[in-house]
Structure 1
Amino acid sequence: MSGVARVRCDQLAPALGDVAANVEGIVAAVGRALDDGVDVLVLPELATSGYVFRDRTEAAAAAITTEHALFRRVTERLHGTTTVVVLGFCERDGDVLRNSVAVVDASGVRSVYRKTHLWDREALVFEPGDDAPPVVTTAHGRIGVLVCYDMEFPEMPRMLALAGADLVAVPTNWPVGAHPERDRVAEVIAAQAAARGNGVFVACCDRAGTERGQDWNEASVIVDQFGWVVAEAPRGTGATTVTADVFPTLARDKSTSPHNDWLRDRRPTIYAREVPQA
């Protein structure tokens, strides 16, 4: 395992319902990443389908499985490399639809994670996953996976940190919302807090474009294990890439002072106690 890993978030603009066009965009993004020596490529949530579906029927028309040619094509492009691709897709899982993420390398699809916390109207389209998020061992460290709103629940990145994740890859679709101009958007602040509180690197890949009047933060970000932003997309940039060279395995050292450690200092038995009401 090499020490340094070039991590990239490619902030694509998927076309709603146009799976064929989106597949070409994903394959092109993989090609660009390989040309630029990227080791870990993170793509947006629902990169294969777009996001603002009217209903489940419309989403079903854009749903795919891991048997889709996309995954074969990505695997073929990765042949002979150690590059890892984390991409969001609209998954047909038997009779239900999932907001899912696949981790792919030269050996094929390594893992699939189904988003467990659905945001707003997603609950009208998708079924939430019931499995814990995975940690995938790769040539560039141990990669944990979450999706967008999952990051709002501190238990999720904590689970991954406790399971040994070095880097948490988060495909997202962050809708624009009001926030003070002096600050980064709240979702990026949440990513910084998750990184700092768990001593892990975090890479969140947002999306670009407008769907049915919905705009996005376009705020892809890479955060180091201390919670500092090391690379980010300037707001309003549109489709762009965010790339940083990081050392994921540094996340295995959780010490914060000669006497402190992010994970060792936890006191779970206290956290489980009932809070007294005064």
Structure 2
Amino acid sequence: MTAPSLFPAVACVQFPIALAAVERNIAQAEQLIDRYGPAPGALVLLPEMWATGFDYPRTAQLGQRTPEALEAMERMAARHQVYVAGSLTELDTNGGRPYNTLFVAGPRGVVGKLSKQHLFAFWQEDRFYQGGEAAPLLRTAHGPLAGLICYDLRFPDVARSQVFAGGQLLAVSAEWPLSRLDHWQALLRARAIENQVYVAAANGCGCTGGMEMAGHSMIIGPDGAVLKAAATEATVIGCALAPGTVDEQRRRFFPAGDRPWVRPDRDKIRALEPLLAELALIRRHGSRIAFTNGCFDILHAGHVSYLEHARRTADCLVVGLNTDSSVRMLKGPGRPMNHEADRARVLAALGCVDFVVLFAEETPIDLITAILPEVLVKGADYAEDQIVGAAEVKDAGGRVVRIPFEHNRSTTGLIEKIRTSS
């Protein structure tokens, strides 16, 4: 039997979030939901950081209370036989900065979660949280659920990838300020129209931590029509969802499913001078450049994992690639195994790599001093004082990140294995 593809109904809960007042916020959410009485099977959506608000000095302390908030979500879900979703602080079990995570609780407990992808640096969120590495569809008994958390709304590629994977309902949990109310309304309708998807968006209202929130939670149809909208008071809005409407809209045309490959990856390979001009444009509005380098003679899983981590340190990754003559200086006359043009082309095909630039010298110091990246990335097997360019990058206000290899692989080892097995 095929599982349902859409929740039968959706409701958005809107209220002023009291900073760090967990019991008060839980009580307020429960009272609003109990008074509204959602239909069984509905998705009930809460705002971003609904139990605590953003109290940065006490982020870790309040994160310890997330289990208490999750218990409340499970209790509400069980009482009304619905699903309850909302954003909370999720502590990192590895000791890193916490995540801003959208949890979905059903009548029998938590069924899924996804973490905020894009952190709002203007409010210093990136200083206290870390971004999620993926935004998967959340699998429920009512089909897959797509989700965004506040600032993610400004990045259409996140919603599009979730819709392409099968999402028919996009849940947005937010603390969006009144000063940008028009952006909130326009972006929500845009995500619905461009993806032909239902959008349910729950926002905070009133004053939280000195900031006036916009309220105006909304439910929007896949044609962009506003089905329900709140004003600025504490309330719950909701409506039934028609399961065939999304499919009907998409039978005519489906932009989110129209995905031609329009960027030749070979265009990522640049000479230094045109690359510098492009990086200057990228930096104009504050985007950060990361740089790393290597021979990448036989690309393996260790390289790919390393480059993915390098890309996450900034907004753009430039890879300096040793030319064949440079590799021979480092590795001896039997290397490289692959020509520099081939190595560059394979690197350029990686989604985490934005630019590839070759250098003929034994070290990339000239490249580094020309680019002066905000982040210089190297393997953790190097001490910082051994990393070429580290002093120059730090003197220019940048930082050095050392990344451990996650896979026990080496190009030299692979070559030796090939030779001994042939």
The Cα of 1:243 is off from its aligned counterpart by 1.4
**Aligned-residue offset at 1:125:** 1.6
Query: In the superposition, relative to structure 1, how do residues 3 and 143 fare at CA in structure 2: closer, same or farther (>3 Å)?
Result: closer
Q: Report the equivalent of 2:88.
A: 89
In the alignment, which residue of structure 1 is the partner of 2:254? 261
Aligned equivalent of 2:214, options 210, 214, 217: 217
The reply to whether residue 18 of structure 1 matches residue 18 of structure 2 is no
> Per-residue CA shift, 1:244-268, capped at 9, x if unaligned?
22224532345363xx33344x142
1:62, distance to aligned residue in structure 2 (A): 1.4
Residue 386 of structure 2 is matched in structure 1 by none
SS at match of 1:197: helix
CA-to-aligned-CA distance 1:86-116 (integer Å, 9 cap, x gap): 1111222222222111011012111121111
The residue type equivalent to 2:137 in the other structure is P
CA 65–145 in structure 1, closer or farther in 2 if over 3 Å, else same: farther
Unmatched runs of 5 consecutive residues or more in structure 1: 179-183
CA distance in 1, matches of 2:49, 2:79: 27
Alpha-carbon deviation of 1:72?
Answer: 3.0
Task: Indicate conservation of the 8 Å contact 2:16/2:208, yes or no.
Answer: no
Letter in 1 for 2:132: G
Please state whether the residue corresponding to 2:176 is helix, strand or coil.
coil
* Alpha-carbon separation, structure 1, partners of 2:80 and 2:126: 38
**Counterparts of residues 73-222 of structure 1 (less than 5 Å):** 73-79=72-78, 82-94=81-93, 95=95, 96-119=97-120, 120=122, 121-139=124-142, 141-177=143-179, 185-222=182-219
Secondary structure at 1:190 match in 2: helix
The structure-2 alpha-carbon separation of the partners of 1:64 and 1:202, relative to structure 1 and needing over 3 Å to count, comes to farther
Q: Which moved more, 1:6-15 or 1:90-99?
A: 90-99
Runs of 5+ in structure 2 lacking a partner? Answer: 269-422
Name the residue aligned to 2:282: none
How many residue pairs match? The answer is: 259
The structure-2 alpha-carbon separation of the partners of 1:249 and 1:161, relative to structure 1 and needing over 3 Å to count, comes to farther
The one-letter code matched in structure 1 to 2:62 is: A
User: Structure 1's 225 and 192: CA in aligned 2 closer, same or farther, altered over 3 A?
Assistant: same
In 1, Cα distance between equivalents of 2:75 and 2:69:
10
Residue among 225, 246, 250 paired with 1:251: 246
For 1:149 and 1:30, the matched residues in 2 are separated by: 25
Structure 1 residue 60, shift from structure 2 partner: 1.8
Q: Deviations over 1:130-156 (max 9, x none)?
A: 1223332333x4321110111111101
Decide whether the 8 Å contact of 2:201 with 2:217 is kept in 1.
Answer: yes
| Structure 1 residues 28 and 130: alpha-carbon distance in aligned structure 2, compared to 1, 3 A threshold | same
Once residues 115 and 126 of structure 1 are traced to their aligned partners in structure 2, the CA distance between those partners, rounded to angstroms, is 9
Give the TM-score of the pair, scaled to structure 1: 0.83
- Taking a change above 3 Å as real, the CA distance of residues 224 and 48 of structure 1, as seen in their structure-2 partners, is same
Cα deviation 1:145-196 (Å, max 9, x = unaligned): 1101111111011011111111000100111226xxxxx7112211111111
Which is worse superposed, 103-112 or 246-255? 246-255
Q: What's the CA shift string for 1:31-64, capped at 9, x where partnerless?
A: 335x24261111000001112x3x3x32222114
Structure 2 residue 237 is matched with structure 1 residue 242:
yes
Query: In structure 2, what residue type is equivalent to 1:137?
Result: T
Q: Aligned residues: percent identity?
A: 25
Root-mean-square deviation over aligned CA pairs: 2.5
Q: Distance in 2 between matches of 1:112 and 1:216?
A: 25
Whole-Å separation in 2 of the counterparts to 1:249 and 1:107: 28
Which residue matches 1:181? none
Q: 1:77 to 1:242 in 2, by over 3 A?
A: closer
Supply the distance in 2 between the matched residues of 1:186 and 1:3 (Cα, whole angstroms). 27
Question: AA paired with 2:90?
Answer: E
Q: Describe the SS at the equivalent of 1:100.
A: strand
CA contact (8 A) 1:202 1:224 kept: yes
Distance (Å, rounded) in 2 between the aligned partners of 1:271 and 1:20: 51
Q: Which amino acid aligns with 2:255?
A: W
Q: Kindly report which structure 2 residues correspond to 1:17-36, keeping only aligned pairs within 5 A, or say none.
A: 17-33=20-36, 35-36=37-38
Offset of 1:12 from its aligned partner? 1.8
1:238 aligns to what SS in structure 2? coil
Bigger helix share: 2
Give yes or no for contact 1:10–1:43 (8 Å, CA) kept in 2. Answer: yes
Whether the 8 Å CA contact 2:39–2:80 is kept in 1: the answer is: no
Cα 1:217/1:199, change in 2 over 3 Å: same
